[in-house]
Structure 1
Amino acid sequence: MNRKIIALILISCSCLAGAPAFATTNLSSVAELPQVNSPNRLSGDTRFETAKVIAEYYGNGKVQNVILSTGNGFADALSASVLAHEKEAPILLVDSSVDSSKEAFDYVIQHLDPSGTVYIIGGSGIIGTEFETKFNDLGFKNIVRIAGMDKYDTSYKIASSLKDISLATVVISSGEQYPDALSISSFAANKGWPILLSPHDTLPQEMKIFLLDKKPSKVYITGGVGAILDNVKSEITSLLPQANVERLSGQSRFDTNVIISETFALNPSTIYLATGYGFADALAGSVVAAQKGDPIILIDPSVPTLPKSVASYLGRLYANNLSPKVVSFGGSGVVTDELIISSRDLISGTAKETSIYSIADITATVTQKQDYSLPTTVQARLYNSDTIDVPVQWNPTFVGTGTIGSSVYDGVVDGYGKAIKLNLTVKEPGPIAQYSTRFDSTQVNRTENIRLAAKALDGKLLAPGERFSFNNSVGERIAEAGYKEALIIEGNTFTPGLGGGVCQVSSTLYNVVLLADLEILERHSHSLPVNYVPPGRDATVSFPILDFKFKNSTDAHLLIRSFVDGNTLTFQLYKKEGN
């Protein structure tokens, strides 16, 4: 490509960009931009590396002069795209120090002619004087810093440095947010229109002086009243009664981006994708997009599909028989491969904005014997990020919940080529009653006795009408059965005895039986109060004299489950079908 590279420009900013990009295959020249059927991206591992990759794509040979911007903020840099295009200079991003700005210096050392010029955008508080010193030490003596008292003043100084002093058209963008200025940056740069930054609510005095001096016949305001109030537009109209003042805005940053793109790029040769929630990649890429006045289309990296207005825009390109190439600025962390492919599909007509992009698999959990019907519709995400309910056909069509376990049903939706899965889990019914008590687990012998008695009862199944005996189910508490000596109640005293703690097991079971409203056949109270159940809710046992008995007074089988977890004993009662 024949062109004379005049300047390399350094710019500074003050806000963090979006997620870092990831390395991918880089491009080498405008003539070799990827075809629509081959997604490509300009990216590095960080925003600084991405800016260098873009710079090398833009100017891969020796450049005569050059522009620096910090990658840590957007304020001063938003107006620099126009200057970069005029100077035919790539935009490099630097960090807060020379030592952490290796990528920018590597590019300058490799590509900048020693007699060239380095433009630094922003004051020394943003890009320190150490950068100028370092460039001088490297043999680059032509250093030009463009900086004002604030970001607004800096934008006027950039505008004033442009060659075309007639400036028939001027762009006014918010200095407090970046998407609108970046959306118009490639078009303004291509046409040489300065981008002036304005506060939200009023025109700065410097801007009034600039507009009165240049007397542009056309003024574009980017963004809605949330970015720049209507009274700013009124001030411009009062200052320039002969000018046509037009606001370019939508309901969101993405809507505004598309409105701007359709206004100035009727027949784009390339669509450049960049995150709408970070400035760095779009800023560095604006000089590439400005070469032919192509649009930078903003996407939302937090969702898998394109913003609705973007999907509609790409669909209209296909409807108008336009087939621009697709390139992304930044790695897959900010512009996913899927979004590139979706953009390509919409441009080529392979998909429509209202085509189904994805349908998520479904997971459902039901209780055994619970009625469950397969859903008649599923939620589909469209290419334009809308979600709609669509009819679905399942195979098999019958759902059985009698058996505990998992099963998979395949779903088919008309117009969607992928199978949908419904993963159904049938779980055991919950207990009809549950009760827990706590004990001192440091009392080792007592804890072991509780564990043994609880284990003896776990899994016992009672048929309808069956009578339960604690002593018969647990058995005699003797040393041969593993029971140990611990405190028991005899009369009005606590005394060591085999099986101490078993009464906590019978009392816990008694309470769960009460909750299940079963018929109590035999139950005895302790002669002394116990602390693991409320007063009057205990059930002492002593083999073979004192027993705890109850009857399964339901019409279903009952399953007893018991377990010890740490210092907690729990009983559960389940209804079971059959035995």
Structure 2
Amino acid sequence: MRKKMIVLIMIVWSTLIAALPVFAATNNTSDLSSNTSQPRSVTMNRLAGQTEFGTAKAIAEYYCHEKIQSVILATGNDFADGISASVLAHEKKAPILLVDTTVAKSQDAFDYVRQHLDPQGTVYIIGGTGIIGNEFEDKLYELGYSHIIRIAGMDRYDTSYKIAASLNTTTGSALVISSGNQYSDALSISSFAANKDWPILLSPPDELPEEMKNYLRHLKPSQIYITGGEIAISDNVKSEISNLLPDTKIQRLMGQSRFDTNVLIAETFAPHPSTVFLANGYGFADALAGSVVAAQEGAPIIMVDPSIPTLPKSTAGYFGSFLATNSSTDLVTFGGSGVISDEILTNSKDLLLGAVKETSIYSIADLNNTVTQNENYTLPTTVHATLYNSDIIDVPVQWSSQTVDTSKIGTTEYTGVVNGFANTIKLRLIVQEPLPMAQYTTYFDTRLINRTENIRLAAKALDGKILAPGERFSFNQSVGERTAQAGYKEALIIEGDSFTPGLGGGVCQVSSTLYNAVILAHLEIIERHPHSLPISYVPPGQDATVAYPELDFKFKNNTKAYILIRSSVEGNSLTFKLYKKTKNQN
């Protein structure tokens, strides 16, 4: 019934054949060629729509683009009701169409119904009117469809029981019990259960509902598969079943994660399938709609983590095992590239082909490190490598240069190689100015042009000055006399108890700003004079006036290190920073 054609916005991937793959980006390639002595091929198809509802329609078109006798409507907003419908869909040879909260939002499903459902066909609605409202039935009647069957229970567990009771299941058949609180385990087994007509019952974690017990007594299954660990389905439920059906074989299928459980189920029922379906492991909608397609061949729905380009460890190992068959594989993806990236598809294909191994290196991220000037730094001997199975390991790296110079501020890029990885490793080392031992900032009015220029001149004279241990600093000696020849301009200065124009107005803000930085650095003050009038650019009592040559600001480097004075004028701010330096530092 299925026609392998891609419609609407489905993307058809060309068949990729690799007789002798090129082993780039792999740790160990010596034994790969022996596994690929026969040509293998992987054909990739993507079934996708703009939304999960559009994807369900695309999957339905893939399932059957001709006339059909039945369709199933399930909500695309919650997994609980529809998760057991895969078996019903396979039995009725019906695609699963997902609907939204209203008819108006569910046009993808109704478009498929109008185009493909026989006028005498049957529509199965899964779930109560609180999930899929009566307006859906009204719309179907309006379109001329009178055979409508709603399967709904009091809750998700009762709904799964009623779906199971509606099936033509023979006594002694196998049966699946999955958690009603999470979808991944049930969807992992859905295609196999549907293919073999095994009902899927949803159970609370701790106790079976009475209706299900009655159903089990009636069915007398020869085998029951419990999916998931004890948190999903407790051993108490398993004990209830054993007491109820002592002759029934019970097998729990569980892994450490949803992906491990997913692969364990696939390995159990389809160790080397000819078709593999990929679905988002953190979303139910695409896998639910796709379960009826996978059920046709009893093929696995393999779940991937869409947030990373590599595959879960168990999944990568499963794909790697396909090499033993030397057969071709169809790889069909449910959902667009926003759900499962092209990168994930390519990596899946490469593992299936044997072009890479699960333990091959997939990527090594470029490194970025930051050090302070003259700090000792050694290039790392190992780097973190991400493998195709998502493991992260440390691998040795050889750098093109072992010499690292941190004496100059700036950025240097180093390149390295890792054995078995084709790409060059890059390390971007940023050498930044060390943190100052102290800094202080004051602000001024840039509209006072002459005063601003005087501040710039005095600050520039001090920038880069280095004091040796025990050396004394004199502001007047370092800046020099404020004269017109030196470039200083006339601005307001304080003389006695008044402001008056004078050469070098504003220089006292420079000395006061430096004074506050010196105080924060706990250096020894030798000479400092307050202004005779209050000033606004520093708090009261934190100023240091200067007047060449009478009034000076002096301090002593009472540390055992060299001290570098850095000044900067940016916009309306003046900043001094004091750094400890070695003797030979710039």
What residue is the counterpart of 2:141 in the other structure? 136
What residue is the counterpart of 1:449 in the other structure? 451
Describe the shift of the 1:482–1:289 C-alpha distance in structure 2 as closer, same or farther (beyond 3 A): farther
- The CA distance in 2 between the partners of 1:500 and 1:278, in whole Å, is 71
Output the amino acid matched with 2:111: D
Tell whether 2:566 aligns with 1:560: yes
Tell whether 2:123 aligns with 1:121: no
What residue is the counterpart of 2:11 in the other structure? 25
Aligned length: 548
Once the two structures are superposed, the pairs formed by residues 250-329 of structure 1 within 5 Å of their partners are 250-319=255-324, 321=326, 323-329=328-334
What residue is the counterpart of 1:229 in the other structure? 234
Shift of 1:433: 3.1
TM-score by length of 1: 0.86
What residue is the counterpart of 2:53 in the other structure? 48
Describe the shift of the 1:41–1:426 C-alpha distance in structure 2 as closer, same or farther (beyond 3 A): same
- The CA distance in 1 between the partners of 2:124 and 2:364, in whole Å, is 50
Tell whether 2:215 aligns with 1:241: no
Spell out, residue by residue over 1:406-437, the C-alpha distance to the aligned partner (whole angstroms, 9 max, x if none): 22221111111111111122223343431234
Output the amino acid matched with 1:355: S
User: 400-409 or 255-264, which moves further after superposition?
Assistant: 400-409
- The CA distance in 2 between the partners of 1:411 and 1:27, in whole Å, is 35
- The CA distance in 2 between the partners of 1:56 and 1:165, in whole Å, is 31
**SS of corresponding position for 1:65:** strand
What residue is the counterpart of 2:388 in the other structure? 383
- The CA distance in 2 between the partners of 1:358 and 1:45, in whole Å, is 30
Q: Conserved in 1, the CA contact under 8 Å of 2:474 and 2:552? A: no
What residue is the counterpart of 1:461 in the other structure? 464
What residue is the counterpart of 2:220 in the other structure? 215
Q: Conserved in 2, the CA contact under 8 Å of 1:450 and 1:505? A: no
Spell out, residue by residue over 1:116-174, the C-alpha distance to the aligned partner (whole angstroms, 9 max, x if none): 11111111110111111111111122111111111111111111111234251111111
Describe the shift of the 1:231–1:449 C-alpha distance in structure 2 as closer, same or farther (beyond 3 A): same
* 2:530 aligned to which of 525, 539, 553: 525
**SS of corresponding position for 2:102:** coil
Spell out, residue by residue over 1:412-470, the C-alpha distance to the aligned partner (whole angstroms, 9 max, x if none): 11111111111122223343431234x5x6x6767973674145313633355685434
Describe the shift of the 1:430–1:145 C-alpha distance in structure 2 as closer, same or farther (beyond 3 A): same
Spell out, residue by residue over 1:368-412, the C-alpha distance to the aligned partner (whole angstroms, 9 max, x if none): 322211110001111111111110001022222233322222111
- The CA distance in 2 between the partners of 1:234 and 1:447, in whole Å, is 90
Spell out, residue by residue over 1:303-336, the C-alpha distance to the aligned partner (whole angstroms, 9 max, x if none): 2211111112222222454553222111122212
User: 333-342 or 68-77, which moves further after superposition?
Assistant: 333-342
Describe the shift of the 1:448–1:95 C-alpha distance in structure 2 as closer, same or farther (beyond 3 A): farther
Output the amino acid matched with 2:517: V
**SS of corresponding position for 1:44:** coil
* 1:542 aligned to which of 539, 542, 547: 547
What residue is the counterpart of 2:211 in the other structure? 206
- Where does structure 1 lack aligned partners over 5 or more consecutive residues? 4-21, 29-34
What residue is the counterpart of 1:13 in the other structure? none
What residue is the counterpart of 1:422 in the other structure? 427
User: 417-426 or 448-457, which moves further after superposition?
Assistant: 448-457
For the aligned residues, what is the CA RMSD? 3.0
Output the amino acid matched with 1:462: K
Tell whether 2:187 aligns with 1:185: no
* 1:409 aligned to which of 414, 439, 458: 414
Once the two structures are superposed, the pairs formed by residues 354-393 of structure 1 within 5 Å of their partners are 354-393=359-398
Q: Conserved in 2, the CA contact under 8 Å of 1:556 and 1:577? A: no
What residue is the counterpart of 2:20 in the other structure? none
Output the amino acid matched with 2:76: G
- The CA distance in 1 between the partners of 2:394 and 2:143, in whole Å, is 63
Describe the shift of the 1:79–1:557 C-alpha distance in structure 2 as closer, same or farther (beyond 3 A): closer
* 1:473 aligned to which of 474, 479, 484: 479
* 1:333 aligned to which of 325, 328, 338: 338
Output the amino acid matched with 2:62: Y
- Where does structure 2 lack aligned partners over 5 or more consecutive residues? 15-39
What residue is the counterpart of 1:64 in the other structure? 69
Shift of 1:27: 8.6
- The CA distance in 2 between the partners of 1:414 and 1:76, in whole Å, is 52
**SS of corresponding position for 2:332:** strand
